[in-house]
Amino acid sequence: MSFSRRRFLRHSALATTTLIAAPAVFRSGAFGAENPIVVGSLHDQSGPIAASGTPMVYALQLAVDEINAGGGLLGRPLKVIHYDTQSNIQMYSQFAQQLAVKDKVDVVHGGITSASREAVRPTFDRFKVLYFYNVLYEGGVCDRNTFCTGTTPAQTVEKLVPSAMKKAGKKAYIIAADYNYGQITAKWMTKYVKDNGGEVLSTDFFPLDVTNFGTTISKIQAAKPDLILSALVGGNHTAFYRQWTSAGMKGKIPIASTTFGLVNEPTTLDAAESDSILGAYGYFEELTTPASKSFVEKIKKAHPDSPYVSELAACTYEGAMLWAEGVKKAASIDRMKVIEALESGIAFDGPSGKVSLDKPTHHTTRNAFLAEVKDRKWSVLESYSDVKPADTASVCDLVKNPTDTKQYIINL
């Protein structure tokens, strides 16, 4: 069979039109009222970050189940499409594309490390898929398509540092993990130490595979600080607390941490190694409010072997619920309409208390808590209500610049 040029052109023009039209045709078919609203989920359930990701998946599922039990949204049920990102950034990029292009989800909740968030955020911007990042992080993301529901340093470090300094003294020694979270958090720690009239003797960073902290412990002893501020991350770094205790330093210099106990440190360490370490987060499993108790109970009932239910799980649940409130208010699943509804001062009473979305930053105003480890559990010492994301607010204003998509590094 021979192809003339004209015939070839006609054929390929037809094929191209079909290809271009296909998504629209399929889409309109897929938007029938009986079809579920699709919620995308990207969380690590295997690999080094699995202990963080697993309870987040449970929390998202719980939120979706509760919404479905209440009749769904706009008369349509919700359906979760979940991908295990395996603690691997490449998987994040790949599955983000898949959620946006193939599964055509209406919203995505997910991302754990800051690196994973920055890997998927541009994809969701490009494909115009609404994105919720429900993890505490270093702050500064300014993107109208993205909502960050976790705490930022102005909400936690700002509370942690002064109370630790009041207890211990003015001279601090900072130890932190060597990647963007640790580096930026160390800057915040330095700022708050100075703001409170203190002094930072030294700041040490550790690659995530460091396991021997002997020299650091000697250096700390030589520097003689009143207080240690730790932003160490991951299983290898828990070795620090062990070696610190085995050198007999436990109890001589107090430790306050922005990461300790976020996942499973209190349960993996011995009571002698973890007692009296201070931490500040947006939520603790040990909170005794009825909302918190029933939240933890539901997760533990469905998954008896769930790891610690931390801020990560609580914020994921609250993030999903805030999104649902937005959809209800917008009375539509259209992305722009939902964003505008979410910007109208939506609030939700979740396990951590009242959480409301802040229009100019797309972050949350939420409660923060200060706690101390006692006998392998957190004992909550103090709570602060309605703390604003002041750090991000100082650099980000989406009302003025709605097209902004940057993550600002906050200059201190």
Is there a contact between 127 and 100 (Cβ–Cβ < 8 Å)?
yes
Residue type, 61: Q
User: What secondary structure, in 3-state letters, does 42-53 show?
Assistant: EECCCCCCHHHH
264 binds other proteins (CB under 8 A): yes
Is there a contact between 136 and 315 (Cβ–Cβ < 8 Å)?
yes
283 Ramachandran zone, left/alpha/beta (phi>0; psi -120 to 50) = beta
169 binds other proteins (CB under 8 A): no
272 binds other proteins (CB under 8 A): yes
251 binds other proteins (CB under 8 A): no
Q: Give DSSP secondary structure letters for 97-114.
A: HIIIIIS--SEEEE--SH
CA distance 160 to 281: 9
Q: Which stretch binds other proteins (CB under 8 A): 31-39, 115-123, 263-271, 386-394?
A: 263-271
As measured in angstroms, the least distance from the Cβ of 309 to other proteins is 13
If the CB atoms of residues 176 and 320 are measured against other proteins, the closer one turns out to be: 176
As measured in angstroms, the least distance from the Cβ of 250 to other proteins is 9
Residue type, 253: I
Q: Which residues in 397-410 are b (16+ Cβ under 10 Å) and which e?
A: ebeeeeeeeebeeb
As measured in angstroms, the least distance from the Cβ of 274 to other proteins is 10
If the CB atoms of residues 123 and 257 are measured against other proteins, the closer one turns out to be: 257
If the CB atoms of residues 98 and 243 are measured against other proteins, the closer one turns out to be: 243
247 binds other proteins (CB under 8 A): yes
Is there a contact between 45 and 58 (Cβ–Cβ < 8 Å)?
no
As measured in angstroms, the least distance from the Cβ of 371 to other proteins is 19
Q: Which stretch binds other proteins (CB under 8 A): 138-146, 262-270, 275-283, 284-292?
A: 262-270
Phi, psi of 2, deg, nearest 5:
-105, 145
385 binds other proteins (CB under 8 A): no
Tokens of 167: 């207890």
Compute the CA torsion angle 318, 320, 326, 328 (nearest 10 deg): -110
Q: Which stretch binds other proteins (CB under 8 A): 17-25, 200-208, 362-370, 404-412?
A: 200-208
Residue type, 323: W
As measured in angstroms, the least distance from the Cβ of 174 to other proteins is 12
204 binds other proteins (CB under 8 A): yes
375 binds other proteins (CB under 8 A): no
Q: Closest Cα to residue 386, out of 349, 342, 360?
A: 349
Please measure the distance between the N-terminal and C-terminal CA atoms of the chain and give it in whole angstroms: 72
Q: How far is CA 285 from each of CA 179, 247, 297, 322, 408, rounded to the nearest angstrom?
A: 27, 31, 10, 20, 31
**In a 3-state reduction of DSSP, which class is residue 75?**
coil
Q: Which stretch binds other proteins (CB under 8 A): 117-125, 201-209, 290-298, 364-372?
A: 201-209
CA distance 261 to 245: 17
273 binds other proteins (CB under 8 A): yes
As measured in angstroms, the least distance from the Cβ of 362 to other proteins is 31
**Binder to other proteins among 239, 333, 393, 395 (CB under 8 A)?**
239
Phi, psi of 293, deg, nearest 5:
-60, -45
As measured in angstroms, the least distance from the Cβ of 179 to other proteins is 11
- Size of residue set near other proteins by CB under 8 A: 47
246 binds other proteins (CB under 8 A): yes
As measured in angstroms, the least distance from the Cβ of 61 to other proteins is 18
54 binds other proteins (CB under 8 A): yes
178 binds other proteins (CB under 8 A): yes
Q: Which stretch binds other proteins (CB under 8 A): 45-53, 147-155, 279-287, 342-350?
A: 45-53
CA distance 18 to 316: 40
Strands 171-177 and 227-231: parallel
If the CB atoms of residues 131 and 213 are measured against other proteins, the closer one turns out to be: 213
307 binds other proteins (CB under 8 A): yes
As measured in angstroms, the least distance from the Cβ of 303 to other proteins is 11
CA distance 119 to 381: 37
As measured in angstroms, the least distance from the Cβ of 219 to other proteins is 6
**Binder to other proteins among 104, 219, 293, 359 (CB under 8 A)?**
219
Residues at the contact surface with other proteins, assessed by CB under 8 A: 46-48, 50-51, 54, 178, 204-207, 209-212, 214-219, 221-222, 234-239, 242-243, 245-249, 252, 263-264, 267-270, 272-273, 305, 307
